[in-house]
Amino acid sequence: MQEIKLRYDVIIVGTGVAGLNCALNLPREKSVLVICKRKLKECDSYLAQGGICRLRGDFDYDSYFEDTMRAGHYENNPAAVESMIRGSQEIIGDLVNLGVEFAREEDGSFAYTKEGGHSAPRICYHEDSTGKEITTTLLNAVKKLPNVTLAERITMLDIIECDNECYGIVAMDNKSQEVFNIFGDYTVLATGGIGGAFGNTTNFGILKGDSLAICLDHGVAVDRIDYIQVHPTSLYSRKRGRRFLISESVRGEGAVLLDKNFNRFTDELKPRDVVKDAVFAQMKKDGTKFVWLDMRKIPAEKIAAHFPAIVQRCKEEGYDVFKECIPVVPAIHYFMGGIRSDLRGRTTMNRLYAVGETCCNGVHGKNRLASNSLLESLLFAKRAAQDIAAGYAPSDRQKEAQAVGRLDGEKYKKPAKLLEKYKKHVIKAVKAAREGKDYNENYKEN
């Protein structure tokens, strides 16, 4: 970890796959700062289990496109979907070149798994810890770059902006509580989802949508923020804290959902929102707090090889997946909405980009198809880096000074309160969106 300077060419907020891949694809002569709120590994990217989609070949294009659109209730941006699918081989190729190890068939070709909503197996995976494998590899690659500074436990409290142009961020050192400005010609928000604002979530608790609230405050457009995906199967537990996900690929490989009498009650491979509704309906009918998931339909050797982390975690919670069913319950999982961005990651504010789960370019529509998220985050973060590089122009220092002049020092005197306020903004804005109100207008800070 290095010391933070006052000025960088590009500031990236977030060390998940989106932030890291953006840093990796920026020109080496540009100075880049990448910060995160807590530890480097405390990001949802690290938690991803199931895998990452890859277009197997042109023969699968129409089917993959249709699966993504159907899962998204046809509210997806077709151009974004096409771009993501067409770019998937490039992204998987980049990952392999960096050293990511995906499961392979005996002949060396990719082994593909399947998840709900997919009409064919097209998901590359690394056991049930694909996110850890990818994020660790990206992190190691970024750490080797002399032009990139990685800084943990630095929280973005605000953006520095004037006349719809961004000049950097207001940040806080979590340890010393010191608040300071960091200037950048370009700022990239890669701050992940918002599950932490709501609880009962598979997300890290720190991911509360800070940048969403900041964008709302500064009039940066956001879209579809009521589109929050609830995953049908997290491990039921009475303990507090983050919910442990039971990957959909478990069902893709044959696991079935059972009611209180151990009877099947739904098609487990429908898109997530459909299965989630079926689980909730069954819990209501049975008067239970969970339904059962039976992994014993999967051959034992396959369970051991493909799902070691799930086996281990269930064991820690007192369940032997080889011998018994496990209790599962839906949990808040993924944010389809977010800061409006185009296919180059540009937001409605100049010099401000948003990539990964925090942004909304419409690729997922109303409901994300399984294993499209890592891909989307990686691809559009790379495109944002390429866009910054192609149009690079230093920002105007006079305007930057004006933007600093507009900062309200009082606002940052109690950072914890400010962050709590942001969380409340997010919850309020989501509620407004659900009620059909114009949250872009209604939730500016005053």
Ligand X SMILES: Cc1cc2nc3c(=O)[nH]c(=O)nc-3n(C[C@H](O)[C@H](O)[C@H](O)COP(=O)(O)OP(=O)(O)OC[C@H]3O[C@@H](n4cnc5c(N)ncnc54)[C@H](O)[C@@H]3O)c2cc1C
Stretches 54-62, 158-166, 204-212, 278-286: which one binds ligand X (CB under 6 A)? 204-212
Q: Residues 68, 88, 149, 371: which binds ligand X (CB under 6 A)?
A: 371
d(CA 113, CA 118): 10
Q: How far apart are CA 326 and CA 251, in angstroms?
A: 13
Instruction: Answer whether 40's CB lies under 8 Å from 150's CB.
Output: yes
**DSSP-derived secondary structure letter, 200:** S
From the list 13-21, 57-65, 105-113, 396-404, the region that binds ligand X by CB under 6 A is 13-21
Of 187 and 202, which CB lies nearer to ligand X in the complex structure? Answer: 202
Comparing every residue's Cβ against ligand X, the nearest one is 16
Using the rule CB under 6 A, give the single segment among 101-109, 205-213, 268-276, 312-320 that binds ligand X: 205-213
Is position 190 an interface residue for ligand X (rule: CB under 6 A)? yes
432 binds ligand X (CB under 6 A): no
Residue 148 sits in the site that holds ligand X (CB under 6 A)? no
Estimate the crossing angle of helix 78-98 against helix 61-71, to 10 degrees.
120
Amino acid at 148: V
- The residue from 10, 11, 12, 13 that contacts ligand X (CB under 6 A) is 13
Place of tokens 């269930």: 314
Instruction: Give yes or no: 272 in active site.
Output: yes
Residue 202 binding ligand X, by CB under 6 A = yes
Token readout for 328 is: 């599962």
C-alpha radius of gyration, the chain, whole number: 21
- Which CB atom, from 341 or from 348, has the smaller least distance to ligand X? 341
Q: Could you tell me which stretch among 42-50, 221-229, 300-308, 315-323 binds ligand X (CB under 6 A)?
A: 42-50
Does 380 interact with ligand X (rule: CB under 6 A)?
no
**Residue 32: strand pairing partners:** 10, 148
Nearer Cβ to ligand X, position 231 or 265?
231
Nearer to ligand X, 9 or 357 (CB): 357
**Distance, CA of 281 to CA of 237 (rounded, Å):** 20
Member of 8, 14, 168, 440 binding ligand X (CB under 6 A): 14
Question: 207 or 279, CB closer to ligand X?
Answer: 207
Write each residue from 318 to 357 as x if it is in contact with ligand X (CB under 6 A), else as -, in one continuous string. ----------------x---------------------xx
8 Å CB contact between 209 and 426: yes
**19 interacts with ligand X by CB under 6 A:** yes
User: Among residues 23 and 403, whose Cβ is nearest to ligand X?
Assistant: 23
| List of E strands, 174-264 | 179-189, 222-223, 228-235, 256-258
Selected from 155, 181, 348, 361, the binder of ligand X by CB under 6 A is: 155
Q: What is the DSSP string of 295-316?
A: GGGS-HHHHHHH-HHHHHHHHH
**Rounded CA separation 114/123 (Å):** 6
Length of the chain: 446
Grouping H, G, I as helix, E, B as strand and the rest as coil, residue 68 is helix
Helix locations, 72-108, DSSP H: 78-98
- Active-site positions? 272
The residues of the shown chain that bind ligand X, judged by CB under 6 A, are: 13-19, 35-38, 42-45, 47-52, 130-131, 155-156, 190-192, 202-203, 206-207, 210, 245, 334, 356-358, 371-374, 377
